Structure 1
Amino acid sequence: MQRDELNDLHAFIAIAEERSFTRAAAKMGISQSALSHKIRRLEARLGVRLLSRTTRSVSPTDVGERLLGGLIPAFAQIKDHLDMLGELREKPAGLIRITAPLHATRTVLWPVVARLMRDYPEVEIELSVDSGLRDIVADKFDAGVRLGEQVARDMIAVPIGPELRMAAVAAPGYLRGRGIPRAPQDLAAHRCINLRLTTAGGLYAWELEKGGRELNVRVEGQFTSNNVEVIIDAAIDGFGLAFVPEDYVAQHIAEGRLERVLDEWCDPFPGYHLYYPSRRQPKPAFALLIEALRYRA
């Protein structure tokens, strides 16, 4: 069936329901002459008269009533199917691709993602665990997770976790033998465990801050690794001072395997943010993820 035929049938239904060309034309947003043309074309195509017209009213003929009896439920069924498709379109479903570093994945992202997938089986998640600053547009990710200070200004950024702190720690035995550093300058006299950055390949400079004063300190030591957990193991085994996320070593500190130093030089900084490029209305599944991750202090 051609589109014109469907439009003409819809016009016939409107006139039959309104009992007026004027009201039906207003309802459909077309002129009365255009509406009359549709009815003439429909009656000519079917070879029957569908409407009885008088100066005061319009009503379906017997044939028109019979046609209406079939058309109205058929059009209602079509509307129901379209409404159903609309509901399916709004139902959270589909693939969401995210890139995030390991620490953010374990502490913030995975607990929410796991719950989301259980509650919405039609939602699929692909999570790329990567410490590098990926180009999420070029690499076709829906979103990335990074520290607030690492997110580009042209991205939409949603906070998904609390502020973070770093911790300078060492084994008690190491500190007994080498002394406790009281200021950043004292680090030059200590063995420190370096972190090799996976992005640029260089060594991470310890970012210390106290009351708005910032210091980036290059440290030296016997051991270097690109893995924070290995660095913590080395610190526990007495190979020097380590500078790592606070929550990684909280239990080790509580149980006495590590001691904290330079605590006053470890001010909090913005935590993890979910970032994405588009300001258009997000897909239902992605909008659901954003709200599930959004941090509320």
Structure 2
Amino acid sequence: MPISERSASFDDLHVFLAVVEAAGFRVAARRLGLSPSTVSETISRLEAQVGVPLLTRTTRSVVPTEAGSAFAARLAPLFGEALAAMRDVANSKDVVRGRLKLNVPGAVMRDILPPLVDRFLKRHPEVQVEIVVEDRLVDITAAGCDAGIRYGEHLEQDMIAVPIGPRHQESGLAAAPSYLARHPVPKHPRDLLDHACLRIRFAGAALNAWEFEKGGETIRVDPPARIILGTAGVEALIHHALTGQGVLYSFRNWLDPHLASGALVPLLRDWWPRYDGPRLYFSSRFMPAPLRAFVDVVHEQSAAPPASADIRGRPPATGK
């Protein structure tokens, strides 16, 4: 039967995208509340309608064919717009309902994003918020997210970007007094080559050099790593710094409480680099009601006077 005479249903397309995202029938079925056999039958029916295989099935995985990948790439943003339109219709003038899904790096989850989400949910209690925390760069539309948070160098040109959190941030370098009692205090960034260092690896990235700035001069050093942890292990890495295991180069806002208490001592303070803070970004094509309401909260926070004159920490340069 020609496809023009019988179009695929909205539900069938939803099932197809769920299988592509989950890379399997069972996981997709569990997320959709369907049986695996129903999901499999739906995909077979859809493939019969379009006339080409959309998925390659093996005993271990389900991956889209070339045609399936192209179909999913075109379908995902259209499906997202349709869902956004449905959610907008469901929203009355005074009540915002639906889901807000954000893709964010772990760096914003300590003190930048949580207060904004708390304020947003207090104002809009009927919205469900889902936060996907990952440091690798993804296409937020293809991933089914309404918006993402990234630093300036990661923004696509066709996206709208709104500053979120501090306008400027800073990296910091510190070590515990117990470590400094056993090692000389570094006087220059290159001195770090002779120190034990605690380093953060961002997902999917090489272990990048530490960057320092002073008087227009920029220096990058790649010091030896005593301990390496991903962003999910930041609390443990800070613990190792506090117990004197090495020198930590990190977001200043992660260091500030320990610098204030004296548990960590700032090092090379004149060399700490400063640059733009993160931004919330989203497609210029459509803006669902929950996202529009969240952006309003972000704008209000940006307009509010800062709680103190201190700069709130920024991510270290990673070359990503």
Shift of residue 87 of structure 1? 7.2
1:160 aligned to 2:164? Answer: yes
Shift of residue 214 of structure 1? 2.4
Tell me if structure 1 keeps the 8 A contact 2:176–2:241: yes
Alignment deviations for residues 62-106 of structure 1 (CA, whole Å, 9 cap, x no partner): xxxxxxxxxxxxxxxxxxxxxxx7972674221111011233123
One-letter amino acid of the structure 1 residue matched with residue 202 of structure 2: L
Q: Considering only aligned residues, what root-mean-square deviation do their CA atoms show, in Å?
A: 2.1
Structure 2: how far apart are the matches of 1:212 and 1:123? Answer: 47
Structure 2: how far apart are the matches of 1:86 and 1:187? Answer: 57
Alignment deviations for residues 190-230 of structure 1 (CA, whole Å, 9 cap, x no partner): 11112222222x21321222234322221103222112222
1:174 aligned residue = 179
One-letter amino acid of the structure 2 residue matched with residue 151 of structure 1: L
2:191 aligned residue = 186
Tell me if structure 1 keeps the 8 A contact 2:198–2:247: yes
2:70 aligned residue = none
Tell me if structure 2 keeps the 8 A contact 1:100–1:131: yes
Q: 1:272 aligns with which of 270, 275, 278?
A: 278
Shift of residue 260 of structure 1? 0.5
Shift of residue 115 of structure 1? 2.2
1:199 aligned residue = 204
Structure 2: how far apart are the matches of 1:273 and 1:235? Answer: 29
1:252 aligned residue = 258
Structure 1: how far apart are the matches of 2:130 and 2:215? Answer: 40
Q: 1:138 aligns with which of 105, 130, 142?
A: 142
Query: CA separation of 1:213/1:154 partners in 2, compared to 1, >3 Å: closer, same or farther?
Result: farther
Query: CA separation of 1:94/1:219 partners in 2, compared to 1, >3 Å: closer, same or farther?
Result: same
Residue correspondence of structure 1 range 216-295 to structure 2 within 5 A = 216-226=220-230, 227-280=233-286, 282-294=287-299, 295=302
Structure 2: how far apart are the matches of 1:211 and 1:159? Answer: 27
Given the two structures, how large is their TM-score scaled by the length of structure 1? 0.66
2:16 aligned residue = none
Structure 1: how far apart are the matches of 2:264 and 2:189? Answer: 19
Shift of residue 159 of structure 1? 0.3
Tell me if structure 2 keeps the 8 A contact 1:156–1:279: no
Shift of residue 152 of structure 1? 2.7
2:219 aligned residue = 215
Given the two structures, how large is their TM-score scaled by the length of structure 2? 0.61
Aligned to 2:169, the other structure's residue is in SS state: coil
One-letter amino acid of the structure 1 residue matched with residue 266 of structure 2: R
Query: CA separation of 1:272/1:239 partners in 2, compared to 1, >3 Å: closer, same or farther?
Result: same
Instruction: Identify unmatched segments of 5+ residues in structure 2.
Output: 1-88, 306-320
Instruction: Identify unmatched segments of 5+ residues in structure 1.
Output: 1-84
Aligned to 2:276, the other structure's residue is in SS state: coil
Aligned to 1:223, the other structure's residue is in SS state: strand
2:155 aligned residue = 151
One-letter amino acid of the structure 1 residue matched with residue 151 of structure 2: L
Aligned to 1:132, the other structure's residue is in SS state: coil
Which stretches of structure 1, 4 residues or more, deviate above 4 A after TM superposition?
Answer: none
Structure 2: how far apart are the matches of 1:86 and 1:98? Answer: 21
Q: Percent identity?
A: 33
Shift of residue 121 of structure 1? 2.2
Alignment deviations for residues 22-74 of structure 1 (CA, whole Å, 9 cap, x no partner): xxxxxxxxxxxxxxxxxxxxxxxxxxxxxxxxxxxxxxxxxxxxxxxxxxxxx
One-letter amino acid of the structure 1 residue matched with residue 174 of structure 2: V
Tell me if structure 2 keeps the 8 A contact 1:158–1:274: yes
One-letter amino acid of the structure 2 residue matched with residue 150 of structure 1: H
Name whichever of 154-163 and 114-123 sits farther off.
114-123
Structure 2: how far apart are the matches of 1:128 and 1:86? Answer: 25
2:64 aligned residue = none
Query: CA separation of 1:225/1:159 partners in 2, compared to 1, >3 Å: closer, same or farther?
Result: same
Aligned to 2:181, the other structure's residue is in SS state: helix
Shift of residue 246 of structure 1? 0.8
One-letter amino acid of the structure 2 residue matched with residue 271 of structure 1: G
